[in-house]
Copies of this chain bind each other. A is one copy, B any other.
Amino acid sequence: MVAHKVSEKTIRRLSHYAMCLRRARRDGLAVITSGFLSHRCGISSAAVRKDLAAYGDFGKQGSGYDVEVLLRNIEEILGTCAPPPVIVVGVGNIGRALLASGLDGTGGYRYTAAFDSDPAMEGVGISGITVMPAREIASACSDLNDTIAIVAVSPGRGQEAVDSLIRAGCRSILSFNLEPLEIPPGVSLRYIEVSTELDVLTHSMKNRVENA
């Protein structure tokens, strides 16, 4: 299959389609329509059809799409057929909640290890994962280059955690820490930004009031 150069916006849409298709499969559906995906994902029918036409021969408009085939093709584009392992660095409130919640429903991702720099956390078990000392990240993970690290350390400690992950060979980081982080080229860093989402919602709220 030809590797597609796909924009982040498209990746997000494909990721949403994949999520809906997994749900459809779980609900026993074998064939779905573009309208189904459109409705479930909150994306216009036209955009869904355009995506499906652009990224392969996924089925015929009108007669519907085979859920298994469509999902497999989308996962191939995303590269998530064999999802990389996910480790958690920082097992405070959020890190612990992530581990306890697990990654069911995400298409096969799973937590494989957890680390914390607090010696008191060493050896603590959370959902079958035993917390290891942060200094052991490099030795404990066989292939950090192909691992996603979720960073959820104490406020102000994000950069330190990211630096040591990168030194150990990690190239894919998802940060729950609020602080902006510096990374060298070749490393992918994404943020979960509750604060920014709250700001976006507040801005909409104030605009509604002003325009009411």
Instruction: List residues of chain A with CB under 8 Å of any chain B CB.
Output: 3, 5-6, 8, 11-12, 14-16, 18-20, 23, 40-42, 77-80, 83-84, 86, 92-94, 96-98, 100-101, 103-107, 109, 146, 148, 150, 155, 171-174, 178-180, 182, 186, 188, 190, 192-210
The residue on B at minimum CB distance from A205 is: B172
User: Are A107 and B195 interface neighbours, CB within 8 A?
Assistant: yes
List B contacts of A196 (CB < 8 A). 12, 15-16, 19
15 pairs, CB–CB < 8 Å, chain A vs chain B? A6-B203, A41-B180, A42-B182, A78-B199, A80-B199, A93-B97, A93-B100, A103-B194, A107-B195, A146-B209, A148-B201, A171-B205, A171-B208, A172-B201, A192-B197
A101 contacts which of B92, B199, B210 (Cβ < 8 Å)?
B92
List B contacts of A208 (CB < 8 A). 171, 186
User: Are B40 and A202 interface neighbours, CB within 8 A?
Assistant: no
A79 contacts which of B98, B182, B206 (Cβ < 8 Å)?
B206
List B contacts of A100 (CB < 8 A). 93
For the complex, would chain A's binding face be called helix, strand, loop or mixed by DSSP majority? helix
User: Are A178 and B106 interface neighbours, CB within 8 A?
Assistant: yes
Supply 15 further A-B pairs (C-beta < 8 A) apart from A12-B200, A16-B196, A42-B182. Answer: A12-B196, A15-B193, A15-B199, A15-B200, A16-B180, A19-B178, A84-B202, A86-B198, A107-B199, A172-B202, A172-B205, A174-B194, A186-B208, A190-B197, A190-B201
List B contacts of A174 (CB < 8 A). 194, 197-198, 201
The residue on B at minimum CB distance from A204 is: B188
List B contacts of A201 (CB < 8 A). 148, 172-174, 188, 190
